[in-house]
Homo-oligomer: A and B are copies of this chain.
Amino acid sequence: MDLKQSARDLAIEYLLQEIKKGNLKAGDKLLNERKLSENLGISRVPLREAICTLSTLGILEAHQGDGTYVSDSYSEIFSNIIKKYGIFDRSMVDEVFEARSLFEADAARLAARNHTEDDLVKLEQALKKHENALTDYYEEKLKDKDMMELDTEIHLGIAASSHNNFILEIVKSIRYVTLQQDYFSEQYTLDHEHFKRSSIMHREIFNAIKEKNEDLAYKKMQEHINEIRLALDIESIRRDIK
């Protein structure tokens, strides 16, 4: 391994370790290049390469004229990878929904198995926020996009309650693919009533998790994902989004 490459890898490892340990948190600004290269005892070229690599991955973010920050979109790394490198076998929307209906159901099963009391409190709050927003939504004070954000909080909350970070990251990444590809824009929504039904179904999934009923949590999540799929104009998505 040449020296420059090893200095770059050192800097990458160092920055990732700092993030893992929590010494660098989302939104934190990195020391300037001069100080950082002094601290690490490496020159600025490999340091810059390290920062560039981590920026491409979405772990760091360069703010023009203001230095480099730790990205708060850490969870989008997988999704960036999938979007950039994912070569789908069939249509992307078909594969993504097939994966969601299995993986999110798995996550719900594990949430029923592994959740803590704290998870239930957080989930309950996320459910209430979604439920309370429904009136505003149907009075057109909120957009589909706003509802989807509240929905995301519930789905990722369930995945987090699995206490399996591998599975959480996978669920997040599929989620971000669908959000970034705009599957849920007004344009592709056939049935706006589905937010009402979602609200009821979320409650059912939550109750199954709370009762530690793994099979029911799995089944209810699968029904829910299939329901979402039916509310969308899959034909158009299949045609428009490659």
Which A residues are closer than 8 A to B by beta carbons? 2, 5, 8-9, 12, 16, 20, 49, 52-53, 56-57, 59, 62, 64, 74, 77-78, 81-82, 84-90, 95-96, 98-99, 102-103, 106, 109-110, 163-170, 174
User: Assuming the A-B contacts A88-B165, A163-B89, A165-B87, are A2 and B64 also in contact, with contact meaning beta carbons closer than 8 angstroms in the complex?
Assistant: yes
| Given A8-B56, A98-B166, A99-B167; 10 other pairs, CB 8 A cutoff | A49-B49, A52-B52, A59-B85, A78-B78, A78-B81, A82-B169, A89-B165, A89-B168, A95-B165, A103-B106
Q: Among the listed B59, B77, B95, B169, which residue makes an inter-chain contact with A166, where contact means beta carbons less than 8 Å apart?
A: B95
Q: Among the listed B2, B20, B59, B84, which residue makes an inter-chain contact with A16, where contact means beta carbons less than 8 Å apart?
A: B84
Residues of chain B lying within 8 A (CB to CB) of residue A163 = 89-90
User: Assuming the A-B contacts A98-B164, A98-B167, A102-B106, are A85 and B77 also in contact, with contact meaning beta carbons closer than 8 angstroms in the complex?
Assistant: yes
What are 10 A-to-B residue pairs whose CB atoms are below 8 Å? A57-B57, A78-B81, A82-B166, A87-B165, A90-B163, A95-B165, A95-B167, A98-B164, A102-B110, A166-B174
Interface of A is mostly: helix
Cα distance, A236 to B238, chains bound together (Å): 48
Q: Among the listed B74, B84, B102, which residue makes an inter-chain contact with A109, where contact means beta carbons less than 8 Å apart?
A: B102
Q: Among the listed B2, B5, B52, B98, which residue makes an inter-chain contact with A8, where contact means beta carbons less than 8 Å apart?
A: B52
Cα distance, A20 to B90, chains bound together (Å): 14
A132: min CB distance to chain B, Å: 30
A107: min CB distance to chain B, Å: 9
Cα distance, A53 to B60, chains bound together (Å): 13
A26: min CB distance to chain B, Å: 13
